Chains A and B, each alone.
Chain A
Amino acid sequence: MKTHRFTTILSIVLLFAFIFGCSQQPSQQKTDTSAQSQVSQLDTILKRGVLKVGFDTFKPWAMKDKSGNYIGFEIEVAKRLAADMGVDVEFVPTKWSGIIPALLTGKFDIIIGGMSITPQRNLKVNFSIPYEYTGMSVIASKKLAAGRTMASEFNNPATTVAVRLGTTAAEITKNFLPQAKILFFDEESQTIQELLNERVHAVVASNPLPLNLAKEYPDKLYLPFKEDFTREPISFAIRKGDFDYLNWLNNWVLVTMSTGWLQNRYEYWFYTNDWENQIQ
Chain B
Amino acid sequence: MQKKPLKRRIRITPLDTTIMVVLAGIFGYIIYKAATGLNYHWNWAIIPQFLIRFDPDTQSWVPGLLMHGLFTTIRLSLWSGLFGVILGTFIGLFRVSPSLFRRQIASTYVGLIRNTPPLVLIFVFYFFVGDQIMTLLHVNEAVYALSPEAKEILSWLFGPMNRFSQFLSALVTLALFEAAYIAEIVRAGIESIEPGQWEAASGTGMSRTKAMAYVILPQAIQRMLPALAGQFISIIKDSAIVSVISIEELTFQAQQLMTTTYRSFEIWTLVLVMYFALTFMCSLIVRKLELTLQRD
Contacts and interface: CB of A to CB of B under 8 A. Distances in A.
A22 interface: yes
A92 B246 contact: yes
Interface in B64-110: 64-65, 68, 100, 104-105, 107-108
Given A8-B107, A12-B111, A15-B112, A59 B260 contact: yes
A59 B163 CA distance: 23
Contacts of B46: 280
Given A189-B259, A193-B264, A198-B39, A68 B108 contact: no
B260 A190 contact: no
A217 interface: yes
A90 interface: yes
Contact of B162 (A11, A90, A190): A90
Interface in B93-138: 100, 104-105, 107-108, 111-112, 123, 127-129, 131-132, 135-136
Contacts of A220: 39
Interface in A42-92: 48-50, 56-59, 63-64, 66-68, 90, 92
B51 to A, nearest CB: 12
B278 interface: no
B41 A216 contact: yes
Contacts of A187: 255, 258-259
A98 B166 CA distance: 14
A63 to B, nearest CB: 4
Interface in B11-55: 38-41, 46, 49, 53, 55
A199 to B, nearest CB: 10
Interface string B182-200: 0000000000000000000
B211 interface: no
Nearest to B67: A68
A22 B132 contact: yes
Nearest to B265: A193
A26 interface: yes
Interface stretch (A99-107, A173-181, A223-231, A240-248): A99-107
Interface residues of B, number: 46
Given A23-B132, A26-B132, A216-B41, A280 B259 contact: no
A8 to B, nearest CB: 6
Contacts of B49: 66, 280
A50 B143 CA distance: 12
B135 A57 contact: no
Contact of B128 (A7, A23, A50, A59): A23
Contact of B144 (A50, A63, A93, A190): A50
A98 B46 CA distance: 30
Interface residues on A, range: 35 or more
B240 interface: no
Interface string A202-234: 000000000000001100100000000000000
Interface of B: 38-41, 46, 49, 53, 55, 62, 64-65, 68, 100, 104-105, 107-108, 111-112, 123, 127-129, 131-132, 135-136, 144, 162-163, 166, 244-246, 248, 252, 255-264
12 contacts: A7-B100, A26-B132, A50-B144, A92-B246, A94-B246, A107-B166, A189-B258, A193-B40, A198-B39, A216-B41, A217-B39, A280-B46
Interface of A: 7-8, 11-12, 15, 19, 22-23, 26, 48-50, 56-59, 63-64, 66-68, 90, 92-95, 98, 101-102, 105-107, 187-190, 192-193, 196-198, 216-217, 220, 279-280
The 8 closest A-B pairs by CB, nearest first: A189-B258, A63-B260, A57-B259, A196-B39, A280-B46, A94-B246, A23-B128, A57-B256
Given A95-B246, A105-B127, A188-B259, 11 more contacts: A8-B111, A11-B105, A11-B108, A19-B129, A64-B257, A66-B65, A68-B65, A98-B123, A196-B40, A197-B39, A217-B39
